[in-house]
Amino acid sequence: MSGPVPDLAPLATSETEGVPGRRRSWMWPGWGAAKRVPLLVIGLVLSALIIIAGVLAPWITPYPEDAGAVVHPTQALLSPSAAHWFGTDLVGRDIFTRVVFGARVSLGIVVIVLVVSAVVGLSVGLAAGFFGGWLDAVLMRVTDIFLAFPALLLSIALAAVLSPSALHAALAIAFTWWPWYARLARGQAASIRRQGYSDAARILGASRTRQLVRHVLPNASTPVFVQMSLDAAGIILTAATLSYLGLGAQDPTPEWGLMVANGQPLATSAWWVITFPGLAILVTAVAFNFVGDGLQSVFDPKRGQR
């Protein structure tokens, strides 16, 4: 059959949405829909503040040099005051400065894990779901092997093999995180492959690569992006756990889990050393959980019927 292949994306999005003639945005449903979910708005505001604080850390912190190896032995374990809002740690470094800089480290780990996991997981899942057959069987059995192990324990084992650092911790987490995206993408791709617009594209002469990239990938990506927002909190907690165990970031890197570990022996005598990094972990995890739960509600097609 000759001639250009018509664009079937409007048909695909309308059929997926279930409302004829309406084109569904597969990335963002709009601020109007977001405002109807208060937790999503709260999560977005908190997440934005944390990200902005991390980006502007060198300019908004009073002692940016304290994020590195600089020490002040004469100012060790000062309680919170106007000069040091969160107090100082065992070697006199300003805890507020290190907590704000810690946002950079934790968010950097989240970005690395999500990008690596999504790229690998989407590639494996889409290939398995779209092509099916023996390729599906092989890829999913490999995925099942990874899913058979608890993610945290496997991350700890991998991080223990590598030299301790924030980057190696991120890679260890990503190595255990991608199977969930592969499973999710595989189910979406297999479902889309059976839809009428997929058959129409094939009949009209669209190559498999074009079908996969133009029709399957956009429609299968929505639940993956929602899952990524849900996973951000879990990644932060996992990274903090690895650093707390000495398998992640190392001093003087201002990583929240490492700061909690260093402050644990001082929990009763200098409560601020452990409290503020712990609160940073808690607030950030809650913020990303709110975003993930809110996006899940917004993208849920049955939400309006509840």
Query: Residue 286: pLDDT above 90?
Result: yes
Number of structural domains found in the chain: 1
pLDDT reported for residue 260: 95
User: 109-118, 124-133, 201-210: which has the minimum mean pLDDT?
Assistant: 201-210
To the nearest whole percent, how much of the chain has pLDDT over 90?
Answer: 55
What are the tens digits of pLDDT across the range 102-124?
A: 999 999 999 999 999 999 999 89
What digits encode the pLDDT tens for the residues 236-265? 999 999 999 999 999 999 999 999 999 999
Domain that holds residue 229: 44-61+95-301
pTM: 0.81
Confirm whether 7 is domain-assigned: no
Considering the domain boundaries, does residue 8 fall inside one?
Answer: no
- Angle among Cα 223, 226, 229 to the nearest 5 degrees reads 150
List b or e across 95-108, with b for residues whose CB sees 16 or more CB atoms inside 10 angstroms.
bbbbbbbbbbbbbb
The residues facing 88 across adjacent strands are 94
Establish how many alpha carbons lie within 13 A of residue 283's alpha carbon, considering only the half-sphere containing its beta carbon: 18
Confidence class of residue 16 from pLDDT cuts 50, 70 and 90? very low
Residue 232 in domain: yes
Residue pair 95/84 in contact by the 8 Å Cβ criterion: yes
The predicted structure's pLDDT at residue 27: 46
SS3 88: strand
Tell me the C-alpha to C-alpha distance, in Å, between residue 144 and each of 127, 137, 183, 238, 267: 16, 10, 9, 21, 42
CA angle 111, 225, 210 (to 5 degrees): 110
CA geometry: angle at 177 spanning 174 and 183, to 5°? Answer: 140
What distances in angstroms separate CA 290 from CA 34, 72, 257, 284, one per listed residue?
12, 39, 21, 10
Percent of the chain predicted with pLDDT > 70: 79
The verdict on residue 131 lying in a domain is yes
pLDDT digits (tens, 9 = 90+) for 66-111: 998 899 999 999 999 999 999 999 999 999 999 999 999 999 999 9
Q: What is the largest CA-CA distance in the chain?
A: 81
Give the confidence band of 191 by pLDDT, cuts at 50, 70, 90: confident
User: Is 17 within the bounds of a domain?
Assistant: no
SS3 94: strand
| Residue 11 belongs to a domain | no
pLDDT at 305: 44
| Gap between the Cα atoms of 168 and 159, Å rounded | 7
Count CB neighbours of 31 within 10 A. 9
Across the chain, what does the average pLDDT equal?
83
Asked if 81 and 230 count as a contact pair (C-beta separation under 8 A), the reply is no
pLDDT of res. 218: 75
Q: Is-contact 3 206, C-beta < 8 A?
A: no
Q: What is the CATH number of the domain that holds 147?
A: 1.10.3720.10
In a domain, 16, yes or no: no
The reply to whether 265 falls in a domain is yes
Q: For residues 39, 40, 46 and 51, what is the CA-based torsion angle, rounded to 10 degrees?
A: 160
